[in-house]
A = this chain, B = another copy of it.
């Protein structure tokens, strides 16, 4: 038992003294690119391990200007999609030598000045924002060292392309082809009246998807969709769909802003209203969260491959770090239709 309250970590100086070398040598031993005699490095590393020494990242950050920290800003970490995303990114970042710093926006999606200021203090090497209404300009203005990476849906969200002229990198997610395929399939299966189950009202992503679907429906000569107001949650979706049908809504196809809402819709239709899915009403989700393939739902949905997405984001992070002064970087990935049992 180490009962003393000391608990201080050994410094490079201690390692140097123990290994009978200079302080700089220790530093070099831990920097792969530094030139040092291999045997000497090995010796130092051995001593360091014995002493349980680790370079202090804070000190290293001050000296090099790199924190090895990447900040992730998410609206609700507990929702399946965000969870999956943070999980994948954390794994990828860990492999690349970065630690993940997680920040949550408030329930209203706001990421206020205070939080931004606070985050900035940690000097993240990169900031990745999934929070759909944390505008890149807001971020770019605040984060002076790192260049923010912004995940967006440009097909119906032109505002994000030029946001105050601030520099930020982008991951563009194309959804048109996948939505087109999904709607064609639903129409072929007999769908005539569509309804749009939205996410949170403030959400840019939900607006982008809604606008895209509306234009696709119009292009096919289908009537404009009914609007069902959701908020990405299961409960609200279930209640809203129940209310919609009871109020006389007659849609035979529901396009949900996310999978969780789609699950709520399916349950409301089946258990609350005694309707059959997909025979009476088809349901389309978005995200392809893990529960989408659970047998009780077996959700037809749109997927953006996690591996593909994290790889693209990591490319953005790395490229920006290699060339800090580069112009805006962009990666593009596309959603895919995953056909299962609800549409």
Q: Which residues of A contact B (CB under 8 A)?
A: 1-2, 4-5, 7-9, 52, 54-62, 67, 69, 76-80, 82-84, 86-88, 90-91, 94, 97, 99-104, 115, 117-123, 141-142, 144-145, 165-167, 234, 238, 263-264, 266-268, 270-272, 290-291, 294-297, 324-325
Contact = CB atoms under 8 A, between A and B. Distances in A.
B103 A8 contact: no
A195 to B, nearest CB: 20
A78 B67 contact: no
Given A77-B83, A104-B94, A122-B57, A144 B99 contact: no
A144 B52 contact: yes
A87, A90, A141 interface centre (most CB from chain B within 10 Å): A87
Copies in the complex: 2
B295 A297 contact: no
B238 A52 contact: no
A104 B91 contact: yes
A254 B188 CA distance: 43
Contact of A263 (B79, B86, B87, B294): B294
A144 B271 CA distance: 55
Contacts of A58: 57-59, 61-62, 67, 122-123
A297 B91 CA distance: 31
Contacts of A88: 78
B9 A78 contact: no
3 smallest CB-CB distances across A and B, nearest first, come from A5-B325, A83-B83, A77-B87
A56 B144 CA distance: 12
Contacts of A52: 141-142, 144
A43 to B, nearest CB: 18
A27 B94 CA distance: 34
Contacts of A123: 9, 56-58
A9 B94 contact: no
A78 to B, nearest CB: 4
A41 to B, nearest CB: 16
B115 A2 contact: no
Nearest to A272: B295
A144 B8 contact: yes
27 contacts: A4-B325, A5-B324, A9-B120, A54-B117, A54-B120, A57-B123, A58-B62, A58-B122, A58-B123, A60-B121, A69-B122, A77-B83, A78-B83, A78-B84, A78-B88, A80-B83, A86-B102, A87-B104, A90-B102, A90-B103, A94-B103, A99-B118, A99-B122, A234-B294, A263-B296, A271-B296, A296-B296
A8 B87 CA distance: 31
A309 B39 CA distance: 50
Given A57-B122, A77-B90, 13 more contacts: A9-B120, A52-B142, A54-B117, A56-B62, A56-B123, A57-B58, A78-B80, A80-B80, A86-B86, A94-B103, A99-B102, A264-B294, A296-B297
Contact of A2 (B167, B264, B266): B167
A238 B294 CA distance: 10
Nearest to A146: B7
Nearest to A233: B290
A65 to B, nearest CB: 9
